[in-house]
Amino acid sequence: MRAPFLALVLLVSLVPVTQAASSPSKTAVTGVLTVMYVDDFAGRRHEVRYFLKDNQSGKTYRVTTAQPPKTPGRSGRVVTLRGQLDNETLQLDQGLEYLLSDGGTSGATYDLSSATPVTGDQKTVVLLADFSDMPLQCSKDQVRNTVFTDPNGKSVDGMYRAASEQRVSFSGDTFGPFRIAQSSTDACDVNTYEAALEAQAKAAGIDTSAYARKVYVLPSPNQCPFAGAGTVGDTPSRAWIAQCGLIDVYAHELGHNVGMQHASTPTSEYGDLSDYMGSGYGGIRLNNAAHLDQLGWRSADRIRQVTSSGVYDVAPLPLIAAQSLTHNILKLARPGTKEFYYVSYRRRLGLDTDLQSTYKDKVSVHRAGALGSQTYLLGVLGVGQAYTDPDGTSFSVTTITTDYASVQVSVPGTVATCTRGVPTISVSPPSQKASGGSAVSYSLGVVNTDSSACPASTFGITSRLLPSGWSVAGSPASLTLSPGASGTATVNVASTSTSVAGIYSFSLGAKDSAISTHGGEAGVTYEVVAACTTQAPSIVVSPAEQSAAAGATLSYAVSVYNRDSSGCASTSFSLGTAVPSGWAGSVAASTLLLAPGATAQTSFSVISSSSAQPNKYSVSVSAVDSTNSAKAASAGGLYDVTAADGIAPTTPTGLAATLDVKRRTAKLVWAASADNVGVAGYRVWRNGIQVGQTQSTSYSDSRLTAGSTYTYSVSAYDAAGNQSGKSGSVSVTVPAKR
């Protein structure tokens, strides 16, 4: 049973200190501070632990305080802490007070402005442990694939490479598992696990000091009340994995190692499941927009800085720059704080292929400070939904498409201005085909991308580069759309009867009747084809004749050719069969869809009646246009029912036998038999009992005993079960053992 969470303080001491017991004394200690997260995802609980390594004595003390800082901060900072020093613990009088080495004082919250994002390849060593009473549940290859080398890119390294767009990667080595003295029932002590694994690695000649990241993987179940733990922002960093099979536990703790805090909501530490820093049980996924910005994983041109009210478009977060029609992140300052709002649009693309449905095709609103601060998910919004922050800043979603989402942002104290956007034009289908003089229809979609402060616009249907003499007409002829609204018109385009066959390219679009520069267009094609001339199809059945006994099944190949001219549409042909009464006939494909000039094949199976008399019978297949019964053809073949075979093969002759004494094997050969239909095989008899069967005219019998004599004969049989008489016999004697 899992130990109570409050026991965490007692279970883990990062570095044990051997110091004689003494009465508590108030003192100041200067040294390097280590910040460590302990993550219990299943219990939705966490703890931040602080350790201080004394510069003078080299001892490491657990730092405790009744008032932890609002922002946990990062490891590696040199600080002076004053409090009650008792063996392994430094108990601060009040809050966690950072007294700098020069005597100055900083408050209980870190200044995070100087934090630098980690970049480049992170050299990582993974050490695997076996307890004295339990092996690690994951193999070395499984852990290596999880962290480094999954062939499908679904590894921690693959996740970080893709999320950072190759700015950060993890490479390194996996060693072990090493058997350590601790058991699964011992109290959880990550320091003991670390020391034991480091000792084993050193004994094996492994220099772990060459690695910037260290990961210790433990068997489970164990007594550790967490799935993972990790230090924050230090080098070398350390992470402890208590559940070896969850990829996002590794990603989460390594995220702490490179400086990330949790992805939370205002009411839940692990509430933002759209990011692996929110929970260790969500699988592979992208980081949220705030983390991507904190870590420097998106360039400035991918982030739109918003300073005033208006409607802003945002492209799906997983898309790279070349795939995005607009910015991937909206960012605006949160009034009166050092935080920012972040707006992003999540779709199941790239790393987000398995994104939870809660966030799929929705707009996410986050707030966060600089690197080293937590991110908070404030709202997940669909079309028509809004989030309003207590400071008055609000976000509402007006449009969601596959390419972008439009978000109305209201910034207190700013006045929205009209910003004209190029309307988004879509045409479906992008190409059409018809004979000269025909009219075809296109569906024209228009989205008004103006900001919300703009008035509605009336867009008239336009065309450009239309061939001479061709005509275009829209229904309706114009669309009046408010900002963010969309509309659809049907556009009919007619070619001339004299148009030469070929592909013609032109553009269809929409233009504001009041502002000539306010419009857009999309390219389409119209292929003029020759006039349609229909003909009956051509059908061939092969072979022309086959034979079999009554009741047998024969298969014929069927080929259907569409003889219509190239100007015709594809034809769906229905296939039928005709066989004698009492027989059965079927085709593998009951319909064939063929373009003009195309050929397709299927098979035709015929089962004759078991009472059919020997004779030649006609069987046929027909192909009929499903919409025009006059457009049809048929073709047939012959099924020759043969008399039942009652004639046995001739008796085999020339049977001879040789003996391989060493292998104690008799080798038999004989002359082939003849049959009116065909010999199916031969049966081999030894001492009057059948011992084998073959289709060839030879046989080897190796089941012989020394000192024994064996007499062989052979008979032939055909497919109808007729069997010849036995051949003359031959004998072999196996010499007795000496």
DSSP SS3 for 419: coil
Mean pLDDT to the nearest integer, 169-178: 97
* Cα atoms found within 13 Å of the Cα of residue 331, Cβ hemisphere only: 24
Q: Find the length of the chain.
A: 738
pLDDT confidence bin for 65, thresholds 50/70/90: confident
What's the per-residue H, E or C state across 694-735?
ECCCEEEECCCCCCCEEEEEEEEEECCCCECCCCCCEEEECC
The pLDDT value given to residue 233: 86
Backbone torsions φ then ψ of 389, nearest 5 degrees: -80, 155
pLDDT confidence bin for 131, thresholds 50/70/90: very high
pLDDT of 415 higher than 80: no
Q: 168 is written with which tokens?
A: 């950060």
Tens digits of residue pLDDT in 426-485? 999 999 988 889 999 999 999 999 887 788 899 999 999 999 999 999 999 999 998 889
pLDDT confidence bin for 95, thresholds 50/70/90: low
| Paired residues of 98 in beta bridges | 106
pLDDT confidence bin for 249, thresholds 50/70/90: very high
Tally helices (H) and strands (E) across the chain: 6, 47
Place of tokens 């965490």: 8
Mean pLDDT to the nearest integer, 192-214: 96
CA distance 706 to 504: 90
Tens digits of residue pLDDT in 272-323? 999 999 987 888 899 999 999 999 999 999 999 999 888 889 999 999 998 9
- Catalogue the E-assigned strands of 3-162: 25-40, 45-54, 60-64, 78-86, 89-92, 98-99, 105-106, 120-130
Amino acid at 212: A
CA distance 99 to 105: 5
Summary mean pLDDT of the chain:
89
pLDDT confidence bin for 382, thresholds 50/70/90: very high
Mean pLDDT to the nearest integer, 624-650: 91
Tens digits of residue pLDDT in 510-525? 999 888 889 999 999 9
CATH no. for 120-259? 3.40.390.10
The pLDDT value given to residue 454: 83
The pLDDT value given to residue 114: 53
Mean pLDDT to the nearest integer, 150-177: 93
CA distance 227 to 40: 6
Residues of the chain within CATH 3.40.390.10 domain(s) are 120-259
Mean pLDDT to the nearest integer, 118-127: 97
pLDDT confidence bin for 26, thresholds 50/70/90: confident
Residues of the chain within CATH 2.40.50 domain(s) are 5-106
pLDDT of 488 higher than 50: yes
Question: Which DSSP string corresponds to 310-367?
Answer: EEEEE-BTT--GGG-SS-SEEEEE-TTSS-EEEEEEE-S-GGGGG--TTTTTEEEEEE
> Does residue 568 or residue 668 have the better pLDDT?
668
Stated as kind and residue range, the H or E segment containing 443 is strand 439-447
Place of tokens 């031959």: 730
147 DSSP 8-state letter: I
Is the previous residue joined to 236 through a cis bond, with omega within 30 degrees of 0?
Answer: yes
Residues of the chain within CATH 2.60.40.10 domain(s) are 424-529, 653-733
CATH number of 5-106: 2.40.50, 2.30.30, 1.10.3090, 1.10.730?
A: 2.40.50
| 538-642 CATH fold | Immunoglobulin-like (2.60.40)
pLDDT of 98 higher than 80: no
| 424-529 CATH fold | Immunoglobulin-like (2.60.40)
The pLDDT value given to residue 66: 75
pLDDT confidence bin for 94, thresholds 50/70/90: low
pLDDT of 16 higher than 60: no
Amino acid at 687: N
DSSP SS3 for 369: coil
Is beta strand 375-381 parallel, antiparallel or unpaired with respect to 362-368? antiparallel
Cβ atoms of residues 449 and 404 within 8 Å: no
User: In terms of CATH architecture, what is 653-733?
Assistant: Sandwich (2.60)
Query: What pTM was estimated for this model as a whole?
Result: 0.57
Considering only CA atoms, which of 228, 318, 338 is closest in space to residue 274?
Answer: 318
The pLDDT value given to residue 115: 66
The pLDDT value given to residue 103: 35
Interacting residues of 556 by C-beta distance below 8 A, sequence separation 6+: 541, 542, 543, 546, 603, 604, 605, 606, 619, 621, 637
| Paired residues of 379 in beta bridges | 365
> Does residue 352 or residue 112 have the better pLDDT?
352
Considering only CA atoms, which of 346, 473, 461 is closest in space to residue 400?
Answer: 346
Q: 604 is written with which tokens?
A: 């035709």
